[in-house]
Amino acid sequence: MAEKNLLEQLREMTVVVADTGDIQAIQKFKPRDATTNPSLITAAAQMPEYQGIVDETLKQAKQDAGPDATSQDIVSLAFDRLAVAFGLKILEIVPKRVSTEVDARLSYDTEATIEKGRSLIAQYEAAGISRERILIKIASTWEGIKAAEVLEKEGIHCNLTLLFGIHQAIACAEAGVTLISPFVGRILDWYKKETGKEYSGAEDPGVQSVTQIYNYYKKFGYTTEVMGASFRNIGEIIELAGCDLLTISPALLGELQATQGELVRKLDPSKAAAMAIEKIPMDKATFDKMHAEDRMASEKLDEGIKGFTKALETLETLLAERLARLESDETFSHATENIFHMYDLDGDGFITREEWLGTDAVFDALDANKDGKITPEEMGAGLGAVLMAKVA
């Protein structure tokens, strides 16, 4: 019998989730769940095979918005519908759930987040999809966590993202959130920049953070699931084998699939139950105090919200350009150039990971030569085309 590769072994102890909006990548790796966000949808929306979905969504949004609607009105309406349209396509492939993200610009607005979550669920249910198969993805601000608490009581399940600190994790668990997505790679990025050190294995700060959260949850019997996200290498994934879920980019899924060797389970609920861990009561005052004291968590949360906002604005720019083309039959050859300049904040002709701020999987896919920078030529190859090349 052939030895199982690392991906096969990982699936025996952890639910594998595809961190991509690319339907072909999902078909290839066959994850149980999938998660999307604006930067992933931006990439997928530029692939020729998905243009029909984009165009049909824009046309329907224009019709429904009415004759007096502005281009921005139509694009705003189309955005949510496009996220749901890709979610519906993904649900035809994955057996369980898809995460659909709330507009990052609502991250500090509890009521608006609640209304957006209800709206997204209504669209899925109108298409005949049970809310049990949908996770509403919300940033882990105090306001976002409180919104999730309300939605969960209504039977709308939530995935709390941009989570970097134990205080965020505890608040989510006590709010009854279904799932959290702590960001492993972004934590590592911060510590490497702060200290100038290289980290690997169990010493990786991102690995340590997720391990701490996992053990805390299992120690005190919380049902909230832990889904590690934003990985820089398969070493981080190996160290978190046994975590409830891990959401992994197509590139790293491929690397795991191509790697042989024994995968040892590192996270185990029975071991966590025996640990001496102090329980921390959580309220807003405690949350705010811990958040202010955790510079990494506060900086990365703020950066992440700005990044997802930038990704959303980029997608809206693309949709506006495409709407103009549909209305006039003109091409929009400058779209990629415009997007590049939106991200190249310092105007040096390169986009760094810090400038990109959006989804790591898309940055890694665009960075064809793996030098940590995206050039105009790499962007010119097309976000979607490059992502497809990575998973073909």
Single out the catalytic residue among 4, 89, 116, 137.
137
Rg of the chain, C-alpha, whole Å: 20
Q: How far apart are CA 171 and CA 265, in angstroms?
A: 27
The DSSP annotation for 242-293 comes to TSSEEEE-HHHHHHHHT-BSPPPP---HHHHHTS--------HHHHHHHHHH
Smallest CA-to-CA distance from 42 within 100, 90, 83 is with 83
Asked whether the beta carbons of 210 and 188 are under 8 A apart, the reply is: no
Residues 6 or more apart in contact with residue 16 via CB below 8 angstroms? 7, 10, 29, 31, 32, 245, 246, 248, 253
Host H or E run for residue 78: helix 71-91
Q: How far apart are CA 5 and CA 263, in angstroms?
A: 9
Tokens standing for 75?
Answer: 């694009």
Q: Helix and strand tally (H, E) in the chain?
A: 20, 10
Asked whether the beta carbons of 314 and 42 are under 8 A apart, the reply is: yes
Query: How many alpha carbons lie under 13 Å from residue 10 in its C-beta half-sphere?
Result: 33
Asked whether the beta carbons of 209 and 180 are under 8 A apart, the reply is: no
Is 193 among the catalytic positions?
A: no
Residues 6 or more apart in contact with residue 22 via CB below 8 angstroms? 40, 43, 44, 47, 250, 384, 387, 388, 391
Q: Which residue type, as a one-letter code, is found at position 281?
A: P
Catalytic residue set: 137
